[in-house]
Structure 1
Amino acid sequence: MTRRTPLISSAELAATLDDVTVLDVRYQLGGPPGREAYEQGHVPGAVHVDLDSVLASPPGAGGRHPLPGVEEFQDAMRAVGVSNDRPVVVYDDWQGRAAARAWWLLRHHGHPDVRVLDGGWTAWRAAGLGAETGSARVPHPGTFAVSSEPGMPFVEAADVLGVDVLLDARAPERYRGEVEPIDPVAGHIPGARNVPTDRNLDERGLFLPAEDLREVYAEAGAVPGADVAVYCGSGVTAAHDVLALEVAGVRAALYPGSWSGWVADPTRPVERG
């Protein structure tokens, strides 16, 4: 039996558009609001989801993008038409980095069928596929119900140092502590190995084939059956590595607080270099 990939191509989405719920999760750190880009053009029928207000709680001791409350997330997903018995496709214009956060949250809360549009909005437009402008109308609220059993694993700060293979998804210079443009402390969690999200993609911004991703992550010790967890700056782009690992057949946990949550406690150790 062929394992189902968590990715979907533009052609496959176009062929099944009437049978899925599409969420537009356009977002870029420090960039213009995703809502503006969405209204200028989006996949037909797609509903915009704001990362900061829907896919995260307000910044605090848990980091810059703590996980949203369970009931708040459930209500937000129902409002955009998500139901457990209807497949969901999520996309962005950031090569999947924001869409992966939505994918992870939905899977974590028990939705059985969520996929990320490979290449996102860029790939959709490059394929010459249609677009809508303005805001899509949600025909009726969804019935999404969160599960009591997490569908995707996660780790808290207290458990991070005990993970066998801890991966840092940030750019190499941030991992090494040479620069830190956002958080108050530079460096990385002791023992972490760096697999930046760029390594998941080819020159077109599409995810590498599964066999290539297996090679990328095997270099860092992340192989099937290993105890693996991933973090980034605030818990958003780490989901991109988790998604790539899922494509490669490796189940990995997310550390949602990530570096911003880790350094919120000055007693926690930091490595550089």
Structure 2
Amino acid sequence: VTCDSFSYIKGKRAPLVELKNIQIVNGGQTSNALFEASLNSEERLEDVLILVRIIETKSQPVSLAIAESTNSQTPIKSRDLRSNDDIQKKLEEAFEGMGLFYDRKDGQHSNQPKSVRVDALSAGQAHLAYSLDLPEVAKKDRGRIFSDLYETVFTDELMADELLASIKVLSVIENKKKLLQSSIRKEEKFNSAHMFLIDGAYHVLFAVGQICDAKGVDRLNYQKAITFVPAAIKYISAMVEKAQRDDASFSFNRYFKDAKTKTKIAAYIQGMEKGL
């Protein structure tokens, strides 16, 4: 574990150690296993002894480096390493004020209904596409959100409202995508022109942001932004149809992984919204 500081009475056998701002950087699974066991029978843990290494440091980069180096045999997820960052705690507190539960760690609030949970990774993906205009990265490189793109996505200035707007608009798009997938599975009638939603949901989210800009609407106003989802789907549907005609080997997956696609979408929307 790491901590800002620790103290104990020297010269005493088995002294109690007081730690300030403790963080478990290696041993999360062990801690969780002990917690689960205590729920069944707390008495059985009375004689359990655990060897703990205490490292005193107030440097977050040092704590991160320690976590990475001490987890070489069982690699820990980058997301979990970042879960105790100040920005993650700030976001959790802000969402709590909205009556929502922010999962800094995967499954942190699994006991809560999905309707009131905000997953950090999913929120980061939505933010990439909607606020940062990087839909292709949100689609194909979500693993970078808690690695090399972490400081880009989770800046010190990031507000919970920005993440909330992104995920609110995305949820409307995802619902349409799920309805489409359900119809396909059940062999029901569906709009084949909307097949692109399966691979292009984040580009629709990006398109909504572009429409907001063209109309002078604040992207944080997700209630208004949501009303632009049908238009975004319509615009991208038209673009996909043209791309399919022009390219005999067209594939949705390749089309939406191409960084050039978002540029074409932005230009198309600007032209359509201005009546060009």
Q: Where is the strand percentage greater, Structure 1 or Structure 2? A: 1
Q: Where is the helix percentage greater, Structure 1 or Structure 2? A: 2
**TM-score normalised to the size of structure 1?**
0.24
* Larger RCO (CA under 8 A, 6+ residues apart): 1
- Quick check: which has more Rg, 1 or 2? 2
**TM-score normalised to the size of structure 2?**
0.23
